[in-house]
A and B are shown apart, each in its own frame.
Chain A
């Protein structure tokens, strides 16, 4: 199975781009997990953490303050107004 191509975009810059095995984020309806081969999706995200499990197996966690996520053809674009890239899971966003 192929990998996901993930782009994490904030209003003023591209925060992160790379390949990932899975992505999970918090949508309005609850936790949203994306694996390769997911159907095209547009989801609204609420303030919370986005976890990206990279190809190497390590997990990147960033906190976003709401935005949206789109998936098509294994291309995942996460768009947020502001991204707290260095934050840990427990760190709260402003």
Chain B
């Protein structure tokens, strides 16, 4: 076999083994994204119950709470950036980081605030470390299957820093940059301001049940709010983490699908090239034989 032919066959084999890997990753992501979406759905009752309760307290008592009060002068703005731990998910982490850079520009250049990053996921950590930038704190190692404990830990740290305020090394407001899972093909990067809180409910149309009755509070409105708001913050972060994990898996599935398709395309090309090389070799051999035979005949 000719050297050229061997070369093409080798490349084709190497692409074939890559294809097997990307195919496996695609299938794994596809099966896990179902689970991740289920987890998002399972947390909805909790999130709804808390949102309802917070709205009820907020609308029927005029207690001011540090977590809902706007600061007059905002000097330091905290941003929680939720990315993945691993790559091979297309532009997933890149999109989130790009959006966070836009937000940074807005906060620093336009509004004159100090940018205080909090990172989730190894991709964000790597991004900041490579550029030698400092960050407040980072959490990683859970991006494709976050636990409630992690959400609680993040929420506790962020709430503490917010309550401390910029005079004490904390922050005056807090944003989250994360990816929202819209559907299997669409995941949107979005920015929300987490603190000070604005209680938002789903856009679902109001039913009779949505009109809040005059609640009695036990022990009283202020204390109920004290207990509820941190839980509300936790539930928002928990939901963001879960949506991000579902988005990551969906993005990975899509990226691996197109990698597999590309590999198939390459294998096809190399097979064609190898066949061509073989044919060229045969043609050359024949013309050599014919040429040799006619040279012998001429010599006689």
Contacts and interface: CB of A to CB of B under 8 A. Distances in A.
Interface of A: 7, 9-14, 27-29, 32, 39-44, 67-68, 70, 72-73, 77, 79, 81-82
A42 B56 contact: yes
B42 interface: yes
Contacts of A29: 218-219
Interface string B230-272: 0100110010000000000000000000000000000000000
B49 A77 contact: yes
Interface stretch (B162-170, B186-194, B220-228): B220-228
Interface range for B: 20 to 34
Contacts of B135: none
A40 B39 contact: no
B127 interface: no
B53 interface: yes
A82 B215 CA distance: 25
Contacts of A12: 39, 42-43, 46, 148
A41 B49 contact: no
Nearest to B221: A42
Contact of B152 (A39, A44, A81): A81
B72 interface: no
Contact of A44 (B214, B216, B219): B219
Nearest to B214: A40
A42 B238 contact: no
Contacts of A41: 215-218
Contacts of A82: 148
A28 B148 contact: no
B184 interface: no
Given A14-B42, A14-B45, A29-B219, A72 B224 contact: no
A34 B71 CA distance: 40
A32 B218 contact: yes
Chain B interface main SS type: helix
Nearest to A46: B227
Contacts of B29: none
A7 B49 contact: yes
A79 B46 contact: yes
A73 B56 CA distance: 14
Nearest to B53: A70
Given A13-B42, A14-B45, 7 more contacts: A29-B219, A42-B57, A44-B218, A67-B231, A68-B224, A70-B49, A79-B49
Contacts of A7: 45, 49
Contact of B215 (A9, A11, A40): A40
B65 interface: no
B215 A72 contact: yes
Contacts of A72: 212-213, 215
Contact of A27 (B39, B43, B218): B218
Contacts of A67: 231
Contact of A42 (B39, B46, B53, B209): B53
A11 B227 CA distance: 15
